[in-house]
Amino acid sequence: MNTQTQFAFRALADPTRRDIVRMLASEDLTIGQLTDRFDMTRAAVKKHLTVLSDGGLITVEARGRERINRLKPQGMAPVLDWFSYFDQFWDERLNNLKEAIERKKK
């Protein structure tokens, strides 16, 4: 039903795209700079960036002949909103999850 949610989930389903998202969390990067960090062609990276853009997870700003790819954190909202559906079950069924997150934070 909600295509935005679906596009965001789909964008995050690929490990390369999740890596890109993490990289863009640290700094804005051009396609060329991102390509340097992966073992694949620029065209492949560009495709991933298109999927991420469709998923609302990044924005692209043209600067001269370069394209600055920037993380758009709000794009993760639909995904986390989906998880919030489970709030009502949190106490009964997600106790272990909370503990797992807490444990990893220490």
Partner DNA sequence: TTGACATGATACCATTCAGTATCATAATAA
Partner DNA sequence: TTATTATGATACTGAATGGTATCATGTCAA
Interface residues with DNA (CB under 7 A)? 10, 13-14, 16, 30-32, 35, 39-44, 46-48, 51, 60, 64-67
Query: Is residue 61 a contact residue for its own copies (CB under 8 A)?
Result: no
The torsion defined by the Cα of 100, 8, 66 and 36, in degrees rounded to 10, comes to 40
CB 52 within 8 A of CB 46: no
* Nearer Cβ to DNA (35/77): 35
Question: Which of the choices DNA, its own copies, none does residue 99 contact, using the CB cut-off of 5 to 8 A by kind?
Answer: its own copies
CB 58 within 8 A of CB 24: yes
